[in-house]
């Protein structure tokens, strides 16, 4: 039963610093929770939607219903629920040693929260929203003047490359080899397939895939270009996931197996929430896996992995010492490959796009 003076509601807070992909996952999960409970939805700081590090124009390409605004003064009247947060502490990076690598799957507790609850978390599991996919397409309907099918074609594959802060993270930033393997897999579908890169970071993209046409239009057109693509090669960025989920054009999409730890995983996912039924996953050798295959592998991994058994446990001083050595070796190899790629571009071994 709701508290006196408040409407029954499920909400979350839109915190400055999150990208559009994270924001839209927060939005759809909260709306789906509220829809399931037949209650209102709302947000603390709703004006933050669409204002991200590379665009501060809001959701100018959608008419998006933000529900009821929850004021900061009213927050104390709501329950607070934090989604289950499981982490692995590993010597892959400063982040993974300090904050841990996020690996959580769906949280039944989140789906069972009572009315008048503000929820926090990652909130990207398909279990939270799969029942309402058709309604989500309506909630996130693109304005007619912003819609575009300019790059919708049966012989064109859009590559979504994430740059920005990823470019200095060896555990996170996808290597050129991932994209080349995915391109080869796409050409098995259509040997005449063309490729075009859509990215928020054209400078980084030209260092990874200089031989292809590369665009950063604006946030809205990047979104609709991905949404309306028939073939996609995805990075491990949440920006593309909601337009892909809302697509009515998509025929086939490849994403990195193990998602945010594709580069270094021994079988864990960062996170399990990013196993989606509508994607095909590619490992470091270019082999392809269905979502069901990935989930079954992960379930077996959880039963046998010594690393997974130590989730949420910070290492002691001796282990941390050796993790630091491992981290430095990973960083050294990562930046050595960057130097090699630069040499290959400058000497013409890797061709550059001539538009």
Rounded Cα–Cα distance for residues 151 and 156 (Å): 7
Note the pLDDT of residue 6.
53
Neighbours of 218 (CB within 10 A): 13
Q: What is the pLDDT of residue 344?
A: 87
Each residue of 236-271: pLDDT tens digit? 999 999 999 999 999 999 999 999 999 999 999 999
Q: Which pLDDT value is given to residue 271?
A: 95
As a whole number, mean pLDDT of residues 128-155 equals 97
Distance between CA atoms of 279 and 291, rounded to whole angstroms? 7
224 compared with 320, residue with greater pLDDT? 224
Dihedral angle sign, alpha carbons of residues 194, 195, 198, 202: negative
**CB of 3 within 8 A of CB of 77?**
yes
| Strand-pair partners of 79 | 117
pTM of this structure:
0.94
Domain limits, the chain: 9-86+102-139
pLDDT band with cut points at 50, 70 and 90 for residue 1: very low
Average pLDDT score over the chain:
94
Please give the sequence-ordered ranges of beta strands (E in DSSP) within 207-303, or none if there are none: 213-215, 231-233, 252-256, 280-282, 288-289
* Pairing relationship of beta strands 288-289 and 280-282 according to DSSP bridges: antiparallel
CA dihedral 248, 124, 111, 132 (to 10 degrees): -10
User: pLDDT tens across 297-343, in order?
Assistant: 999 999 999 999 999 999 998 988 888 899 999 889 888 988 988 88
Q: What is the DSSP track for 227-242? A: HT-SEEE--S-GGGHH
């Amino acid at each position: 039963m709701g508290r006196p003076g408040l409407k029954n509601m499920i909400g979350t807070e839109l915190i400055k610093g999150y990208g559009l992909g994270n924001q839209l996952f927060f939005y759809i999960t909260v709306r789906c929770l509220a829809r399931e409970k037949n209650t209102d939805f709302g947000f603390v700081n709703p004006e933050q939607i669409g204002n991200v590090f590379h665009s501060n124009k809001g959701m100018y390409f959608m008419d998006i219903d933000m529900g009821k605004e929850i004021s900061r003064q009213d927050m104390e009247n709501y329950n607070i629920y934090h989604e289950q947060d499981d982490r692995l502490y590993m010597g892959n990076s400063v982040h993974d040693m300090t904050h841990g690598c996020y690996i959580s799957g769906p949280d039944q507790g989140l789906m069972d929260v009572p009315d008048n609850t503000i929820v926090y978390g990652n909130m990207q599991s398909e279990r939270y929203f799969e029942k309402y996919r058709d309604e989500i397409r309506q909630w996130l309907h693109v304005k007619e003047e912003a819609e575009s099918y300019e790059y919708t074609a049966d012989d064109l594959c859009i590559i979504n490359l994430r740059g920005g802060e990823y470019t200095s993270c060896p555990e996170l930033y996808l290597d050129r080899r991932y994209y080349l393997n995915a391109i080869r897999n796409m050409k098995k579908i259509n040997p005449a397939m063309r490729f075009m890169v859509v990215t928020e970071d054209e400078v980084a993209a030209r260092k990874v895939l200089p031989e292809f046409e590369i665009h950063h239009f604006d946030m809205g057109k990047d979104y609709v270009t991905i949404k309306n693509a028939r073939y996609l090669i995805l990075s491990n960025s949440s920006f593309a996931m909601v337009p892909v989920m809302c697509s009515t054009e998509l025929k086939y999409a490849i994403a990195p197996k193990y998602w945010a730890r594709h580069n270094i995983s021994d079988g864990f996912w960062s996170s399990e929430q990013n196993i989606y039924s509508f994607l095909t996953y590619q490992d470091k050798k270019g082999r392809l896996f269905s979502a069901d295959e990935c989930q079954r592998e992960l379930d077996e991994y959880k039963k046998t992995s010594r690393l997974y058994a130590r989730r949420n446990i910070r290492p002691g001083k001796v282990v941390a010492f050796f993790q630091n050595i491992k981290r430095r070796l990973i960083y050294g190899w990562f930046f050595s490959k960057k130097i090699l790629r630069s040499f290959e571009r400058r000497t013409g071994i890797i061709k550059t796009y001539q538009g």
